Chains A and B, each alone.
Chain A
């Protein structure tokens, strides 16, 4: 039958502003989390990861925050640029999964110049 795509949550920001993308994960046993960026026509690209023994990790212009109490993950992008426009996915796994990633619903980030 015909497949219907889900409408992705969309975040629209002005160039130069900070962006915050949120993700609720499902498995309380998950202990490793990753953010991926996916541009149109490309595969997901690793951005940053965090282990469950941390609550914050910083990269270049990006910060990931983890709140295990409410099973929430966020990605903060500082000084958002047009090149940041993409769909962002969070993914979770744990040491028993041997690399099997469970992806959340993506968020489409649109940066206005």
Chain B
């Protein structure tokens, strides 16, 4: 079974530029998560999708961040415009079932963003 795929793996941009990250979850997984991980810290949830519906986006800075999961499979996370403080690793995870807290989340390798 293929794991969660993310691209690009690394991205370097100048501040105020836009950037987008792509995630392909494990086949058959209904729930998709985007997390932010700062250096030396644990991941923090940005948004959770159940199929194509964003069911928890309370931690997403909506002034500059947006996300979509149009067909309930792949997802993109966008930042526009990027700020220096956005430099971090952006992780995507997926789980099989919807809304089940005990369902194992499988993480992708992440996209490391550097904003100069």
Contacts and interface: CB of A to CB of B under 8 A. Distances in A.
Interface of A: 1-8, 32, 34, 36, 41-46, 49, 51, 89, 91, 93-101, 103-106
Most interface-central of B93, B99, B102 (chain A CB within 10 A): B102
Nearest to A36: B107
A103 B35 CA distance: 11
Given A5-B39, A43-B93, A44-B43, A101 B105 contact: yes
B33 to A, nearest CB: 7
A1 B87 CA distance: 10
Interface of B: 4, 31, 33, 38-45, 48, 55-56, 84-85, 87-88, 91, 93, 95, 99-110
B94 to A, nearest CB: 10
30 contacts: A1-B84, A2-B84, A3-B39, A3-B84, A3-B85, A3-B88, A5-B38, A5-B39, A6-B39, A42-B109, A43-B107, A43-B110, A44-B91, A44-B107, A89-B42, A89-B43, A93-B101, A98-B100, A98-B101, A99-B33, A99-B99, A99-B100, A99-B101, A99-B103, A99-B105, A101-B45, A101-B105, A103-B41, A105-B42, A106-B42
A49 B42 contact: no
B107 A45 contact: yes
B41 A5 contact: yes
A51 B84 contact: no
Contacts of B102: 32, 49, 51, 95
Contact of B104 (A41, A49, A100): A49
Given A1-B85, A8-B40, A99 B31 contact: yes
Contacts of B95: 99
A21 to B, nearest CB: 13
Contacts of A32: 101-102
A103 B44 CA distance: 7
A8 B41 CA distance: 8
A99 to B, nearest CB: 5
